[in-house]
Structures are given as structure tokens and as C-alpha cells.
Chain A
Amino acid sequence: MRRRLLLFLTLAACAGFTVALAAAVLHAAGAALPSALPEQLAASLGSSGVEHPVTAVLLNFRNYDTLLEIGVLVIAGMVGISLASTSSLEDPALRSSDSLLYALQRWFVPLMLLLALYLLWAGADRPGGAFQAGAVLAATGVLMRLGGLPMEFVRPGVLLRLGLVLGFAVFLLVAVAGALAGEAFLAYPPGMAGGLILTIEIVLTLSIGMILLALFVAAPVSDEHEPEEGAGP
């Protein structure tokens, strides 16, 4: 009985929330002010180093967001591998020996890598970019993992960590280089924006792929315990 009441109440609350929100959305849509932002954006697009406006926003106008976003991703990856403390993140028990899968993979993996490369390149002037590419990259890894390909490189060693942090680090280096050159933090030196953005995109792709993959394969197989605080030095 109580549970039903709770259910009903929650339902009512959520419905009310939805209605109120919808009203607000409608009102906002009706009362929307004309914004100067699109024009500003269009005007600045030329000096951004990329043609596609979304990429320009992501990697130039609001690249601080992106930097931090990559940080968030790194954190997630890091926490993921921190919870798995075996020498290899790969679980031999999951390794499959299905020859059909194996054969398929031999076709798919290179194709997917190619797709990732394309997405990365496309980001400059049409939808696409580092994240999409990275996601495909990671998907490739997942496929390989599920298919039972050996993946020794996702050991939580220094190499993996370097891989995780590479994109972020390069991004950051570029950012501080701008500051050292006397511009603002994260500002690209004039004329170098395009090249730098591309570099960043490439390493980001790698890192993003690595992080997502690491998160996927981080298996909770460690039985080692952190002693309770105060349980003894």
C-alpha cells in the first residue's frame, strides 16, 4: 500500500514537473530574445582555423570546455583502471576461439580504423571529429576484446596511462604554449590554429579511444582490500 502511494506520488510529481517544464519551454520559446551569438560566431569563424562551426566552437571558441571535458574523461578512465589491480586488464576466461568471429574481425578492425581516421579528418568541415573518431576506435577495441584478440597493451602500466593522458597533455601543452607566447591561456598563436587543432584532434582521438576501451575492459577482479581507516597502520 505504501509502495503504491509512493509510486503514485512520484508519478504525480514527475508529471507535474514535466508539465511545468513544458510550460517553461513553451514560454521560453515564445519569449526568446534574438541573440547576437550566431552572427558573432559566423564573423569569427574565419580566424578559427577550421571551417566547421561546431568544431570551431569545440576546439577554439570554447576549447576550455573541451579541455575540461577531456579531463573528465581521463578521470573516468583513471578511476576505472584504479579499481582493477591485476597485471592485465584482460580476462583470459573471456577469450573466445571462435574462428568465424576471428575471421570477421580481420575484416572489420582495419575498416573501423579507417572509419575513425575519416571521421577525424572530416571534423574540419563537416560533422565528425576527435570524439566520434575516438569512439569508433574504442568500439574497435571492444570488438577485439569480445572477439578474444589478445590485447596486452591495456595493462595498467605506464604505457596505458601515458596513452590515457596523451591527448589531454598535448592539448594542455598547446594551451600553455599560447599563454607563454603572450596570448591568453588556450589561445592559438595566429595562423597556427588549424595545424594545432588537427594535432590536438589526432592525439585526442587516440586517448579517447584508449580511455573508453580501458573503461570497458577494466574488470573488477581484484580481491585486494583497502583496510578500513583506522584499522591499523
Chain B
Amino acid sequence: MSPDLLYALAGVVLCGIGLFGFLLLEHLLRRLLAFNLIGSGVFLVLIGLAQHRNGPDPVPQALVLTGIVVAIAATALAVVLIRRYYHLTGHTSLADDGEAQS
């Protein structure tokens, strides 16, 4: 088992953990973090799996770079939205009590 494959498997585990958090956590920021965890896992899988085969491979690296930027953009956007949401409603989650309030 090459280290690359190990990276990939670690990515898999990260995905699992992230998914668990994403599904279960209600606090918006935590959920966002879980999302980032999944993202990291995916990127690890992407690179690890490809490099396990080809050795250092610039294409997945570039892809991951792009993916990271996208993820950052999304994360930043989400944080802005969450902040404003919190500012307006005082809620940190989208649960039902929030719905009742509005």
C-alpha cells in the first residue's frame, strides 16, 4: 500500500466523519465545518487515488486547487449568510424553532 493510497483512505474516513457531522449537527457554523471536512476528504481521495497510480500528477493537483478555491468561495459565502442570519434572527440553526419565530 503506497502512501498515496493511505492518503486516499484517510480522505475516505474524513468524508465519513464530515458526512456524519453534516447530517447531525444543527449549528450552522459546525455544519459548515463539516462540509469543509468532507471537502478535504474528497480532495485527498482525488489526489491520493490518482497519484497512487501515476506518481505525482499535476492534473489532480490543479483540480484540487480549483476545488479549494471554490470551496473557499462557498464557505465564505455561507459564513456571510450565517452571520447576517444570526444578526437578524439570533438563531444559529435552521431548526424548527427558528421557523416558528419568523
Instruction: Please report A residues at the B interface, Cβ cutoff 8 Å.
Output: 6-7, 10-11, 13-15, 17-18, 21-22, 25-26, 28-29, 32, 34-35, 37-38, 41, 53-54, 56-58, 62, 65-66, 69-70, 72-73, 75-77, 79-80, 83, 129, 131, 212, 215-216, 218-221
B59 and A41 within 8 A (CB): yes
B101 contacts chain A at the CB level, 8 A cutoff: no
Chain B interface residues toward A at CB < 8 A: 5, 8-9, 12-13, 15-17, 19-20, 23-24, 45, 49, 52-55, 57-59, 61-63, 65-66, 68-70, 72-74, 76-77, 79-81, 83-84, 86-88
Partner of A76, one of B9, B12, B58, B73: B73
How far is B72's CA from A80's CA once the two chains are assembled, in angstroms? 13
Contact of A80 among B59, B68, B77 (CB under 8 A): B77
B residues less than 8 Å from A129 (CB atoms): 65
Residue of A nearest to B57 (CB): A38
Q: Which residues of B contact A7 (CB under 8 A)?
A: 24
- Given the interface pairs A38-B57, A218-B80, the reply to whether A72 lies near B16 with Cβ below 8 Å is no
Q: Could you tell me the distance in whole angstroms from the C-beta of A75 to the nearest C-beta in chain B?
A: 7
Smallest CB gap from A81: residue in B: B80
Q: Is the CB of A80 within 8 A of B8?
A: no
Complex formed: what's the CA distance from A14 to B83 in Å?
Answer: 29
Query: Given A17-B19, A25-B45, A54 and B13 touching (CB < 8 A)?
Result: no
Chain A residues whose C-beta falls within 8 Å of the C-beta of B87 in the assembled complex? 220-221
- Quick one: given A21-B15, A25-B12, A79-B77, are A72 and B53 in contact (CB under 8 Å)? no
| With A57-B62, A83-B80, A131-B65 as contacts: A18 and B16 at CB distance below 8 Å | yes
- Listed from nearest, the 5 A-B pairs whose CB atoms lie closest are A18-B16, A53-B58, A220-B84, A57-B62, A76-B73
Q: Given A38-B54, A76-B73, A58–B62 Cβ distance below 8 Å?
A: yes
Pairs A–B under 8 Å by Cβ, sample size 16:
A10-B20, A14-B19, A14-B23, A21-B12, A22-B13, A29-B49, A57-B58, A58-B65, A69-B66, A69-B70, A79-B77, A80-B76, A216-B76, A218-B80, A220-B86, A221-B87
Count how many pairs of residues, one from A and one from B, have CB atoms less than 8 Å apart in the complex: 124
Q: Are B80 and A79 in contact (CB under 8 A)?
A: yes
Alpha-carbon gap, A1 to B18, bound state (A)? 24
Instruction: Look across to chain A and name the residue whose beta carbon is closest to the beta carbon of B18.
Output: A14
**Are B49 and A76 interface neighbours, CB within 8 A?**
no
Q: Which of A18, A38, A212 is the one whose CB lies under 8 Å from B76?
A: A212
Q: Name the residue in B23, B53, B58, B63 with the highest tally of chain A Cβ atoms < 10 Å from its Cβ.
A: B58
Report A-chain residues with C-beta under 8 Å of the C-beta of B58.
41, 53-54, 56-57
Q: How far is the CB of B18 from chain A (nearest CB, A)?
A: 9
- The CA of A72 and the CA of B13, in the complex, are separated in Å by 28
CB neighbours of B45 from chain A (8 A):
25
In the assembled complex, the CB of B13 is this many whole angstroms from the nearest CB of chain A, namely 6
Residues of A within 8 A of B83 (CB): 219-220
> Which of the residues B8, B61, B70, B81 comes within 8 Å of A54, measured between beta carbons?
B61
Q: In the complex, A7 Cα to B44 Cα: how many Å?
A: 27
